[in-house]
Structure 1
Amino acid sequence: MNVSFPITSNEILLKCIPQRNPIVMVDVLYAFNDNEVSAGLSINSYGLFIKNNTLQEPGLIEHMAQTVALHTGFGYFLKSETAPTGYIGSIANLKINRLPITGEKIHTTATILQEFAGITLVDIICQINNQIIATAQMKTVIAK
């Protein structure tokens, strides 16, 4: 399948992740390869995780998890297969330097460290204007 980046189509993105509104926390897929995925989110003034025009910690963590889900899901999308449902298995070394505010755009990159038997371990970096706002290591698990 021939695709070009960035992908902003809600139709394509929703085929790659199990979440549905109001919990969709990715709105662009910037890049994808076997070892890495980059996704983004524009912070709006409305939403489940917005308080005082600021995306709260659970929303930022959910954005990280959905970025990882995009890696798995987009791989399935390219093969014209249905993306599986996955879960956060663990979060380690989470560091939030600051929270994003309304009007900002998060650019998140997840680098695959290990992938085996439906378990994926990744390093995640969230940035706004090339400034790191959060980092974490996350393990996700595909539902059986």
Structure 2
Amino acid sequence: MGLKIESLQDRTDIVFSSDVIGKYAFQNINFNGTFGMVTSEENKTTLFLGAGKFIEKDGFSIKILGKKSGAATLVYGDNMQLTCDDVILLTIPDTYKKGEVVLTFGFKQLRGERLKMNGENVVNFKVPAMNFQEVSIGLK
């Protein structure tokens, strides 16, 4: 239920597409939905959840909360950008020193919840619906 596209300019797209909601895995990507894509190029990765419940790669994940399917995009690398059409649970690897981890967008800050998932230290953020914008994550 997928397609891998390798470009000549150091870009790879992994596309998941199905007319039935399902769980799929390829290499180090997990997806649950009907349409999603992971793009890797140079020093950034884009997780695009076009219609689904969950997408994850390398400890970064988006999970739609509250409804069966939604849309969201996370771009991470040198900087981070995010958009979602409903409330999501954003999970990132916990590489931060002791202290409170916060996600900042505009003038708002969201507190992160540090925990261990599948043996890995991660930080979860419950993020409200938002337009595509830069976000940053760091210690408060």
Higher relative contact order (CA 8 A, sep 6+): 1
Work out whether the TM-score is over 0.5.
no
Instruction: Give TM-score scaled by structure 1 length.
Output: 0.31
Instruction: Give TM-score scaled by structure 2 length.
Output: 0.32
